[in-house]
A and B are shown apart, each in its own frame.
Chain A
Amino acid sequence: MKSMVKKTLIGMGVSAALMGASLAQAEIKIALAGPVSGPVAQYGDMQFIGAEMAIEQINKNGGVNGEKLVGVKYDDACDPKQAVAVANKIVNDGISYVVGHLCSSSTQPASDIYEDEGIVMVTAASTNPDITLQGYELIFRTIGLDSLQGPVAGRFVAESIKPKRMAVIHDKQQYGEGIATAVKSTVEEAGVDVVMFEGITAGDKDFSALVAKLKRNNVDFVYYGGYHPELGLILRQSAELGLDVKFMGPEGVGNKDISAIAGEASEGLLVTLPPSFELDPKNKGLVSAFEKKGQDPSGPFVMPAYAAVQVMADSMNATGSNDPYEVAEHMHKASFSTPIGDVKFDEKGDLTSFNFVVYNWHADGTKSPAK
């Protein structure tokens, strides 16, 4: 009984606060949820600058239904527990639109909360297929899936590298293990011999035993599913311990920091990334807008984050409504022209098509198309 009274009181308080908010300011808040701190904060930056640029440009063109968009940053540190806390905070703050989260393991628990609370969420970076498998109506993504990325990487390995003894290593996390499994099954179908399939502990620093094991198994090619802090150290220790083989990783390793950690050892690393949208001639104006602000538009999640904000804003304009359910319904039906190309969502909220491209990574932190 007591708790019911409490709940009612809280409910009244929240709705009063909401009413106050909607009366006081003519603006639509968009929560930008991702890692501001922690080891993968670089990727968070990509998402934030993309989304903020979209908000800025949409506001310049008159905003949404006559109202201004406002981006509010939330830090989940790529930690699933903190992501849930952030999601609850977003609910309490009365925000109905979210761009985020970044890490699949954060997006997964947070998306449950958004769906239940009637909040539209578009992730520009989480690629784990499970996220959209729950049959949600309010959850979308403007990036491809591991189940697409894995086969792209796997086919490239089988057709262009043709390794005789391949190793697949992963960090046991939802993202890394998911993509590593997809790569393994693709290359095995093509007849490549995977002699090692092993997990490491994310956050670990010493991989000398793993490197010795790779050498002993006469591995001639290594695929790593995970993020750059661990792969950077593996590359560095491989170079020091005389393991001279080619490595490949997903977009989670494609970041300038891997060159800072691994130095020369990062030269020639293969990475599957979303295509370089910033090289598309249609995006010239947008790229110069980023450069004017001193920002780098080439990160893999910058343009997808821009597109995430844009599809929400376009749908609000098209429906003339700020109701999340109406907006989501429109997003499922319509097609949008964005910096990442023409975007159309399927019934799960995934893009109907998205290409990953294989790049050669260079020691100075740049990349060039492979082959």
Chain B
Amino acid sequence: MSESIFYFLQQIANGLTIGSTYALIAIGYTMVYGIIGMINFAHGEVYMIGTYVAFIALAGLSMLGIDNPFLLIAMALAVSILVASAYGFSIERVAYRPLRGSKRLIALISAIGMSIFLQNYIRLAQGSRDIAMPSMIQGGFLFGDPSGSHIMISYMQVIIMVTTVLCMIGLTLFITRSRMGRACRACAQDIGMTNLLGINSNNVIAVTFVIGAALAAVAGMLLGLYYGVVNPYIGFIAGLKAFTAAVLGGIGSIPGAMLGGLILGISESLTAGYLTAEYKDVVAFSLLVLILLFMPQGILGKPEVEKI
């Protein structure tokens, strides 16, 4: 294989890594939108909180003497998912449920308020500086000639992609096979009707928020380990990117969020690789504009959804 193909594949691998995490966060936006038709702008902050909790858990657990990196990561992941889910649940309870039935704009403002509150609360509690963590998993797979053209995929990138795929499979099984999943789909179709049929839609909505938050915590933990830094402001841009991914793929559609995340990640990576890193956000968001111009419902979105 020639050098340029290796380079292309390397950029695709980099794009898939970052795209996977966008997809994980995007699920939270798209599921909530699919059911109650509202954009949960505080979702990016849940991701940020997930990263903080993971860092704190990793530091705490390693102080307790656990030194197996995989055990450490698994335990920290569990703690992070638990805490972030609690946040997701409480955010819905405190900021959105009391406003259910009011105008959508009101819930939206409440979401923005929640986002500002969480960001500043973490800033006050944890300080506004970058908190850094040494990399726990080093090294990677090398394909090709080490001194010539080759692809290098770090173990951390592999972990990110594999975890994302597992989460997506789990979520798909949950949605398509379980009772609760069926209730979720029913609520997405017609929330009034499901209430009449004896399903408590409040519970379904709470579950949606918890799932979104848990996946955001997974993304937060993975990216925290990958980059090794966290500050209270990472939620904003990550949330924006994930929201873009959700819209790109068709908001309300779970496969759409996955696809949208991957497309966004790959387009960023290819732009940085072939044009210049300065323009990667420009190209990614131009892509969004173009897709919305020609496919207003997004790539996999259903045209009949009109809840704005």
Give 1 or 0 for each of B130-147: 1 = CB within 8 Å of chain A CB.
101011001110100010
Please report A residues at the B interface, Cβ cutoff 8 Å: 37-39, 41-42, 77, 172, 198-201, 203-210, 212-213, 215-216, 229, 232-233, 236, 239-242, 257, 260-261, 263
The interface stretch among B104-112, B163-171, B177-185, B269-277 is: B269-277
Given A201-B281, A216-B3: A236 touches B129 (CB 8 Å cut-off): no
Question: Contact: B11 with A209, CB < 8 Å?
Answer: yes
Quick check: which of B204-212, B223-231, B294-302 contacts chain A, the rest being far away?
B223-231
Q: Which one of A37, A39, A42, A208 has the greatest number of beta carbons of chain B within 10 Å?
A: A208
Measured in the bound complex, the distance between the Cα atoms of B233 and A73 in whole Å is 24
Chain A's closest residue to B223 (CB) is: A205
5 closest Cβ contacts across the A-B interface?
A209-B272, A208-B14, A260-B132, A37-B128, A261-B132
Which residues of the other chain, A, contact B129 by a CB distance below 8 angstroms?
37-39, 41-42, 257
Whether B135 contacts A263 by the Cβ 8 Å rule is yes
Interface: B90 (CB within 8 A)? no
Known: A37-B129, A199-B278, A240-B139. 5 other contacts (CB 8 A): A37-B128, A205-B234, A208-B14, A239-B138, A240-B156
Contact B132 A257 (CB under 8 A): yes
- B7 contacts the other chain (CB 8 A): yes
- List B contacts of A209 (CB < 8 A): 11, 14-15, 268-273, 277, 280
Range of interface residues on chain B?
35 or more
Within 8 A of A (CB), among B217-268: 223, 227-229, 231, 233-234, 237, 268
Q: Which of B14, B135, B229, B231 is A212 in contact with, Cβ under 8 Å?
A: B14
Instruction: List, sorted by A's number, 9 A–B pairs whose CB atoms are closer than 8 Å.
Output: A205-B234, A208-B17, A209-B15, A209-B269, A209-B277, A213-B277, A229-B130, A240-B139, A257-B129
- Within the assembled complex, what's the spacing in Å between the Cα atoms of A38 and B130? 8
Q: Which residues on B sit within 8 Å (CB–CB) of A37?
A: 123, 127-129
> Residue A240 contacts which of B138, B234, B269 (CB distance < 8 angstroms)?
B138
B152 interfacial by beta-carbon distance below 8 Å:
yes
Set of chain A residues within 8 Å of B11, measured between Cβ atoms: 209, 212
B194 CB-CB contact with A under 8 Å: no
B207 to chain A, nearest CB (A): 31
Residue in chain B with minimal CB distance to A196: B276
Chain B residue numbers with a CB within 8 Å of A241 are: 140, 152, 154
- Minimum Cβ distance to chain A for residue B100 (Å): 36
Is B277's CB under 8 angstroms from A236's CB?
Answer: no
- A213 and B231 form a contact (CB under 8 A): no
Across-interface contacts of B118 in A (CB, < 8 A): none
- Which of A41, A199, A205 is B276 in contact with, Cβ under 8 Å? A199
Q: How far is the CB of A246 from chain B (nearest CB, A)?
A: 18
**Chain B interface residues toward A at CB < 8 A:** 3, 7, 10-11, 14-15, 17-18, 123, 127-130, 132, 134-135, 138-140, 142, 146, 152, 154, 156-157, 223, 227-229, 231, 233-234, 237, 268-273, 276-278, 280-281
Bound-state Cα–Cα, A201 to B157, Å: 22
Residue numbers in B under 8 Å from A210 (CB-CB)? 272, 277
The chain B residue with its CB closest to the CB of A243 is: B152
Bound: A41/B223 CA distance, A:
24
In contact, A261 and B228 (Cβ under 8 angstroms): yes
**CB < 8 Å neighbour of A208 from B3, B138, B233, B269:** B269
In Å, the complex CA distance between A241 and B129 comes to 26
Minimum CB–CB distance from A252 to chain B (whole Å) comes to: 14
Bound form: Cα–Cα A207–B276 in Å: 12
State whether B128 touches A203 (Cβ < 8 A).
no
- Check A236–B135 contact: CB distance below 8 A: yes
**B135 A205 Cβ-Cβ under 8 A:** no
* Residue pair B18, A41 in contact (C-beta under 8 Å): no
A77 to B272, alpha carbons, bound, how many Å?
29
Q: Is the CB of A240 within 8 A of B128?
A: no
Q: Which residue of A lies closest to B273 (CB)?
A: A209
Identify A198's interface contact among B7, B142, B227, B277, CB under 8 A: B277
Bound Cα distance from A242 to B140, whole angstroms: 9
Contact in complex: A229, B229 (CB < 8 Å): yes
Is the pair B277, A216 in contact by a Cβ cutoff of 8 Å?
Answer: no
Question: Taking A198-B278, A199-B278, A200-B278 as contacts, is the C-beta distance between A213 and B140 under 8 angstroms?
Answer: no
Q: Is the CB of B135 within 8 A of A257?
A: no
- Contact present for B140 and A206 (CB under 8 Å): no
User: Distance in Å from the Cβ of B123 to the closest Cβ of chain A?
Assistant: 8
* Structural contact, B7 and A41, CB atoms closer than 8 A: no
Residue of B18, B154, B228, B237 with most chain A CB atoms under a 10 A cut-off: B228
The one of B7, B154, B231 in contact with A39, judged by C-beta atoms closer than 8 angstroms, is B231
* A229 CA to B128 CA, complexed, in Å: 13
